[in-house]
Amino acid sequence: MTKHSLDDLLAIMTRLRDPERGCPWDVLQNFDTIAPYTIEEAYEVADAIDRKDWHDLRDELGDLLLQVVFHAQMAKEAGLFDFSDVAHAISEKMLRRHPHVFGDVSYANLDAQMQAWEEIKADERAAKGAAVDHSALAGISSGLPEWKRALKLQQRAATVGFDWPDAQPVLDKLTEEVAEVRAEFAHGGDHERLQDEIGDVLFVSVNLARHAGVDFSQALRHANAKFERRFRQMEQLAVAEGQPMAERDLAAQEALWQRVKRLSNNDESTADIEA
């Protein structure tokens, strides 16, 4: 079977967007309506990688590529740019940002390379006519997921030495921030104050994950998956015992949760022994 090429995909998208012969849904879309799908597809790529499902990863990468093609087609229709301009722009950027690979530049270590990377990006912003911003935090997109932006802010601050030496003081700071949340609840739980204090807890949690070398998003995905797995087990046990979850009070549900946790821990221990 002949494999379809990138040119085939571009032609398919052109046809889908054809006002006369295309798909009504595709024709109605614009950059704003497609953007949420683009973000969703990127997360589904990450999920496939997390699950080590390489067949699914192939499909999800295709879905993500379709998003790029979709945006490029809409831009072409608007006379802004086309897919070849997108490919050219990213190729130029990679060549420019890797002079140690495609040129004769050398760096002493990875830290020096990362510092040079940030300097190149600053030069790029200046070349675009962006207002000169000498802050270490310059150029961090406000469009990032907030946990990711928190990580970027912390990483940039660390480049000028504003960072904890290791994870222990971050743990102490997290304990301090949680105590402040407790205190706010004790004083009536003002919404704005709680938002501020809980925000501090989340910011420090991202920092803790960074110092632990843990990907915050992946850790949260694992926590979500664990909660879903255990909750579904609770539901199954509850139904098997003739008393669904909704008919049990919180104490009974908590007891069921603890049972499921013990079962899960036993299964994990058995798997470790067998491995």
> What's the confidence (pLDDT) of residue 130?
65
Band (168; pLDDT cuts 50, 70, 90): very high
What is the per-residue pLDDT across 108-159, written as a single tens digit (0 to 9) for each?
898 889 888 888 887 887 788 766 777 888 878 888 889 999 999 999 899 8
Tell whether the model's pLDDT for residue 246 goes beyond 90: yes
Tell me: pLDDT of 266 over 80.
no
Closest C-alpha to 48, from 59, 35, 37, 34: 59
**pLDDT band for position 238 (50/70/90)?**
very high
- Please write the tens of the pLDDT for every residue from 47-75: 899 889 999 999 999 999 999 999 999 99
> CA distances (Å), 54 to each of 28, 47, 102, 106, 168, in order?
33, 11, 31, 35, 37
For the chain, the domains span: 6-94, 98-134, 152-214, 217-274
Fold of 152-214: Helix Hairpins (1.10.287)
pLDDT single digits (tens) 70-108: 999 999 999 999 999 999 999 999 999 999 999 999 998
* Residue 102 φ then ψ, to 5°: -105, 5
In angstroms, the CA 222 to CA 64 distance is 22
pLDDT of 268: 59
Q: Does residue 41 have a pLDDT over 90?
A: yes
Mean residue pLDDT of the chain comes to 91
Do the domains at 6-94 and 152-214 have one common CATH topology? yes
Question: Where are the alpha helices (H) located in 78-145, listed in sequence order?
Answer: 83-97, 99-102, 110-127
Assigned fold of 6-94: Helix Hairpins (1.10.287)
